[in-house]
Amino acid sequence: NAGVTQTPKFRVLKTGQSMTLLCAQDMNHEYMYWYRQDPGMGLRLIHYSVGEGTTAKGEVPDGYNVSRLKKQNFLLGLESAAPSQTSVYFCASRQGGSNQPQHFGDGTRLSIL
């Protein structure tokens, strides 16, 4: 009954370091999303994917890259981490078709020093 699984759960980086966050879903969902959540700002979409091999920018894509080589996995990369990227990152997925809710993972808390 895994649903959406994010790894790692916590990470501390130094400015300029790179890392990759992994999202895996076992529901055979077509659509996957990466959001960041900051205090007082709700969740904001970073990048999304409408299927294997496709990615697109959301509303706050700068400083991030993504890849969807396999349908079940969606990776979020930070090439050169900055303190402004300190946040909680959530991955979500949903079925194709209209009016399907997104299902979220438990989040990754990332601190950039």
Partner 1 sequence: EDKVVQSPLSLVVHEGDTVTLNCSYEVTNFRSLLWYKQEKKAPTFLFMLTSSGIEKKSGRLSSILDKKELFSILNITATQTGDSAIYLCAVTGGTSYGKLTFGQGTILTVHP
Choose among 42, 77, 50, 74: nearest CA to 61: 77
Residue 75 and residue 59: Cα distance in Å, rounded?
Answer: 17
Q: Where are the beta strands (DSSP E) in the chain?
A: 4-7, 10-13, 19-25, 31-37, 43-49, 56-57, 64-67, 73-78, 87-94, 103-104, 108-112
Contacts of partner 1 in 37-56 (CB under 8 A): 40-45, 48, 50, 56
3-state helix, strand, coil in the chain (%, to 5): 5, 50, 50
Judged by CB under 8 A, the stretch of 16-24, 35-43, 61-69, 74-82 that binds partner 1 is 35-43
By the rule CB under 8 A, 24 interacts with partner 1: no
Judged by CB under 8 A, the stretch of 10-18, 19-27, 36-44, 73-81 that binds partner 1 is 36-44
Judged by CB under 8 A, the stretch of 15-23, 34-42, 61-69, 72-80 that binds partner 1 is 34-42
The correct pick among 13, 23, 25, 31 for binding partner 1 (CB under 8 A) is: 31
Contact residues toward partner 1 (CB under 8 A) are 4, 31, 33, 40-45, 48, 50, 56, 58, 90, 94, 98-107
